């Protein structure tokens, strides 16, 4: 036993220390080596077997049913290409998973929990494995990049290293399709080449995402348009990739029971067919614009969605109005337009709060690449030359509808969170599926705050920018309660999971803007107004209307108090930091 402990400790140490392994009995070294490699061999072996099996199955199925995702017939060459690609892709998945598993087992072996050495080693292995996962996503492309984007939003579940690597790469460094592949899509969809459809067509894409890329073009009547072209390989691999990722996830769960991301595969299986249908996306964009005009007219002038050219759009090609604007997180460019970043953060928060709590029709992929900013046409030059922003929403493929009951409970839950109402938090969390045993975790994931901060009646308990201690505590919770968090995510309805993703995307954008806007104040106002309006619809009388106005007055007074108190806290922190810096300078002198 003593020698076994010594060996495990050495396997986690530096190279200079591992020479001591030679002094151990060879039988013991072999035993530990077998334990380290057993899981690797299991993952690779199962992956190779499943890959060959799926390759044969995909060839057989494509012969029986020659319909692709978009309904076009496979030819023999395409079927052979799919059958040949499946084993290679699945084996690549299995090998990457095995290397990651081995790296964790080997690098952390014998290091004491909580020690400085283990913390350093864990950071290094997290970073290495995040880069391996990133490389796998880029090699396979398509839905793997989409999964990488999902992973980049799971900061409440996975290590920060993965979040940072995936967020910085999955949005801005996606592979592109060649111009010949773009021409292939045009020929299949419209029966013509790009230069026959448009007066001008730039073969170099403006941007590329996980499922498509965008080209600038000009129609024969002189209008500049943006043309979204689906990546060609998705037609061949989308269904098979979904099946292979599901198989790998199930195998990893079988070998490592604590690893359970099957709920993520369920979400991809549900959303991917819709995201691959650009007609569905175009209809979503028009419905979203209509909702703002009808249900949120006070914001309609500050939201814009590009119009669709239906004559030049199909399920794999989408032609839209070309938009001039700057990136939603490009702070310098935003300031150059005379717009305050805090105003951009505010309009973003208001836009999605209205979608969630009032429209019940929600854009669930609001990462930075899907939003742009320009000066609002109705904007006048204000104090110090400042202008109002107009938010441009792009990529409408991923939407979810909230029914009245879910919208009501979600709105009441957020109202309870903003006002630290413990009973309300528990009741509405349970109604949304979290259960009485996991509602605390649910509240923490929604707000990205420890429970003691969530229920703290202090005025700044849900400030947008938490302290470094808060973030460290949440990372500790993510590791300590990984199994419970996974169970919670399996319980929650799919639409709630997408709302969590939406919250995470918006939080990342707010953080990049560096704005001082308290998003939760805006959420508190809109959610409270939505609750009051729902109650008013149930009983429209003079008394109910009076109750509505009193409720909103109470909310506004409370939110005003929160804002004032928050300003006082900021002033206190400023003077405290100023005092500390003054003391340090005196000590130096």
The pair of structure tokens assigned to 129 is 């494995």
The pair of structure tokens assigned to 462 is 């849900």
457 contact partners, CB below 8 Å, separation of at least 6 = 420
The pair of structure tokens assigned to 197 is 């459809």
| Residue 153 to residue 157: CA distance in whole angstroms | 9
Among 162, 93, 163, CA closest to 129: 162
Strand partners, 327: 372
What does the radius of gyration of the chain's CA atoms come to, in whole angstroms?
Answer: 27
The pair of structure tokens assigned to 399 is 């939407």
Q: Give the CA distances from residue 317 to residues 189, 311, 324, 505, in Å, rounded to whole numbers and listed in that order.
A: 7, 11, 21, 26
| Residue 184 to residue 41: CA distance in whole angstroms | 41
Contact 18, 10 (CB under 8 A): yes
**DSSP secondary-structure letter at 356?**
I
**DSSP secondary-structure letter at 159?**
-
Counting Cβ atoms within 10 Å, is residue 576 exposed (0-12), middle (13-18) or buried (19+)? exposed
368 contact partners, CB below 8 Å, separation of at least 6 = 171, 327, 328, 329, 508, 509, 512
Is 510 labeled as catalytic in the residue annotation? Answer: no
| Residue 142 to residue 156: CA distance in whole angstroms | 25
Among 394, 385, 373, 368, CA closest to 308: 394
Q: Where are the alpha helices (DSSP H) in 400-517?
A: 404-418, 422-431, 439-447, 451-454, 468-480, 482-491, 494-513
Contact 370, 397 (CB under 8 A): no
How big is the chain, counted in residues? 589
| Residue 547 to residue 568: CA distance in whole angstroms | 32
The pair of structure tokens assigned to 358 is 């009032």
Strand partners, 216: 226
Among 497, 506, 447, 488, CA closest to 471: 447
| Residue 432 to residue 429: CA distance in whole angstroms | 5
Among 217, 225, 231, 226, CA closest to 276: 231
Among 549, 506, 512, CA closest to 528: 549
Q: Which of 260, 365, 460, 510 is catalytic?
A: 365
| Residue 241 to residue 239: CA distance in whole angstroms | 6
Active site (catalytic) residues: 365
């Amino acid at each position: 036993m003593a020698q076994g402990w010594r060996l495990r400790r050495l396997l986690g140490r530096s190279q200079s220390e591992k020479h001591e392994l030679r002094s151990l009995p060879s039988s013991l070294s072999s035993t530990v080596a077998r334990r380290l490699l057993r899981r690797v061999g299991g993952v690779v072996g199962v992956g190779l077997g499943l890959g060959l099996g799926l390759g044969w199955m995909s060839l057989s199925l494509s012969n029986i049913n020659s319909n692709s995702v978009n309904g076009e017939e496979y030819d023999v060459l395409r079927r052979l290409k799919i059958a040949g690609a499946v084993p290679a892709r699945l084996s690549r998945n299995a090998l990457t998973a095995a290397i990651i598993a081995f790296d964790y087992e080997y690098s952390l072996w014998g290091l004491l929990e909580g020690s400085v050495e283990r913390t350093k080693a864990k950071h290094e292995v997290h970073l290495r494995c995040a880069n391996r996962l990133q490389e796998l996503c880029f090699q396979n492309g398509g839905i793997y990049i989409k999964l990488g984007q999902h992973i980049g939003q799971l900061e409440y579940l996975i290590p920060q290293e993965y979040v940072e690597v995936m967020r910085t790469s999955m949005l801005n460094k996606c592979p592109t399709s060649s111009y010949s592949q773009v021409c292939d899509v045009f020929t299949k969809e419209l029966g013509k080449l790009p230069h026959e459809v448009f007066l001008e067509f730039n073969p170099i894409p403006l941007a590329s995402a996980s499922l498509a890329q965008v080209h600038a073009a000009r129609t024969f009547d002189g209008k500049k348009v943006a043309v979204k072209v689906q990546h060609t390989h998705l037609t061949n691999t989308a269904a098979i990739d979904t099946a292979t990722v599901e198989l790998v996830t199930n195998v990893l769960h079988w070998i490592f029971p604590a690893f359970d991301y099957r709920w993520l595969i369920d979400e991809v299986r549900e959303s991917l067919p819709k995201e691959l249908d650009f007609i569905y996306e175009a209809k979503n964009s028009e419905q979203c614009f209509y909702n703002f005009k009808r249900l949120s007219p006070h914001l309609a002038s500050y939201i814009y969605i590009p119009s669709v050219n239906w004559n030049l759009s199909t399920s794999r090609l989408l032609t839209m109005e070309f938009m001039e604007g700057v990136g939603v997180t490009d702070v310098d460019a935003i300031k150059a337009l005379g717009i305050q970043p805090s105003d951009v953060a505010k309009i973003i928060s208001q836009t999605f709060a209205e979608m969630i709590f009032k429209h019940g029709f929600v854009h669930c992929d609001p990462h930075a690449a899907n939003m742009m900013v320009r000066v609002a046409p109705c904007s006048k030059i204000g104090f110090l030359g400042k202008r109002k922003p107009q938010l441009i929403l792009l990529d409408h493929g991923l939407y979810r509808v909230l029914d009245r009951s879910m919208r009501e409970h979600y709105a009441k839950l957020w109202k309870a969170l903003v006002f630290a109402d413990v009973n309300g938090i528990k009741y509405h969390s349970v109604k949304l599926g979290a259960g009485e045993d996991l509602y605390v975790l649910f509240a923490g994931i929604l707000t990205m705050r420890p429970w003691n901060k969530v229920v703290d009646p202090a005025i700044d308990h849900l400030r947008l920018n938490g302290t470094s201690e808060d973030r460290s505590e949440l990372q500790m919770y993510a590791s300590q309660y990984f199994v419970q968090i996974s169970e919670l995510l399996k319980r929650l309805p799919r639409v709630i999971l997408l709302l969590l993703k939406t919250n995470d995307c918006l939080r990342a954008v707010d953080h990049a803007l560096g704005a001082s806007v308290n998003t939760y104040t805006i959420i508190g106002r809109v959610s409270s107004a939505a609750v009051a309006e729902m109650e008013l619809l149930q009983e429209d009388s003079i008394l109910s209307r009076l109750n509505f106005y009193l409720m909103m007055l109470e909310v506004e007074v409370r939110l005003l108090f929160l804002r004032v108190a928050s300003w006082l806290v900021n002033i206190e922190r400023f003077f405290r930091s100023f005092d500390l810096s003054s003391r340090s300078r005196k000590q130096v002198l």
